[in-house]
Structure 1
Amino acid sequence: MTDLCEQPLGLLCEVARRELVHLLESLPGTKDLVVDATLLRPLDRIASMSLLQKHGCQRVIPLRLDSLHAIPWNENAHRRVYLLRSSLDMARLLAQHVRSSPDNRQIAVIWVDRRLVICERELERQGVYGLVESFELSISLISLENDLFSMEMPITTAQKDLLAPANA
């Protein structure tokens, strides 16, 4: 099977890969990557585990909304990077994880597709806003074949309503 990012229309995949690598490189040190379970497949399409390890990610840990336990920290990781969809539920779960983390560890979040104000407000309301570095990563189109794309990030009606005040 050929690498889908190397096909002519796979440039969108390559752009997403480079953007992810740039974000990981801007967060120095060893890190654990905690990924929203719904983003594991799209992440696998744009970045292999060896690529992630090359840029400092020691582990990739799936995160599910229904998981009630905290994720134990890796002794060797200086930082934890969350790759999450922008949603209020994910912001609440992130705040929970930040509050339960050791004081000497750094936390960053990469919001996939866009950073919503409601997520930042929830982090602020939970008292952890200043403890988390926030970034954005757009991976809305992912190449499945050389002429077929997946729109991984559909904008739902609820999300459109959240964005309406910002556009007004």
Structure 2
Amino acid sequence: MTGGKVDLTLIRESTRIDLVKLLESIPGPKAIVWDEQLAGAFGHVADFAFLRAHDVTKMFYISPNKLPQNTVQHVIFFSRPQTQLMDNINKQIRMEELQGGSGKEYHLWLVPRLTLLCERRLQEHGVYGTFTAVKELPLLLVRLESDLVSMELPLCFR
């Protein structure tokens, strides 16, 4: 391609399509528990109105604390593949189950990929089998403006 423009809206639309497929694979109301660093990037892909249109009714952050009171059956964790985040997800699931959340279905979507280290960490904690699904969402580039993208690979230049 010489002298032409790159249509960066295709990046956003591709990510939105992947996100819709994942959200629609889970029926009914759902809560998303965000890795705080991903929440900002996803804000450029899908705002709350978009998520609400796909039955997302609650949103929280991954932390070592228990999740706020909620009645949704499906809880989706969006996380980067980091062991500290896996430890916090473990704590949140354990506390949720202690408070009677055993009827809930948990889903883990890792951005941009699942790593063996994180998978093993969840297995060590004994919560890997708790997830109905563990999937990847390969969000590598985020369109910020019509002519500006953000590369979501913070370790790529180290």
Give the direction of change, closer, same or farther, for the CA distance of 1:100–1:157 in structure 2 (3 Å limit): farther
Structure 2 stretches of 5 or more lacking a match? Answer: 1-5
In structure 2, the residue matched to 1:144 is: 144
**Counterparts of 1:92 and 1:54, CA distance in 2:** 31
Aligned residues: 148
Q: CA deviation at 1:68?
A: 3.6
Percent identity of paired positions between Structure 1 and Structure 2: 30
Relative to its length, the structure with more helix (as a share) is 1
Q: Distance in 1 between matches of 2:17 and 2:69?
A: 27
Q: Separation in 2 of the partners of 1:37 and 1:129? A: 22
Matching residue of 1:154 = 154
The one-letter amino acid of 2:67's match is I
Structure 1: runs of 5+ lacking an equivalent? 1-6, 159-168
1:11-90 matches, within 5 Å, as: 11-63=10-62, 67-75=63-71, 77-90=72-85
Query: What is the TM-score with the length of structure 2 in the denominator?
Result: 0.86
Amino acid at match of 2:68: P
Assess if the C-alpha contact under 8 Å between 2:142 and 2:150 holds in 1: yes
Runs of 4 or more, structure 1, over 3 Å off, are 155-158
- Which TM-score applies when normalising by structure 1? 0.82
- Given that residues 139 and 153 in structure 1 are in contact (C-alpha distance below 8 angstroms), is that contact kept between their aligned partners in structure 2? no
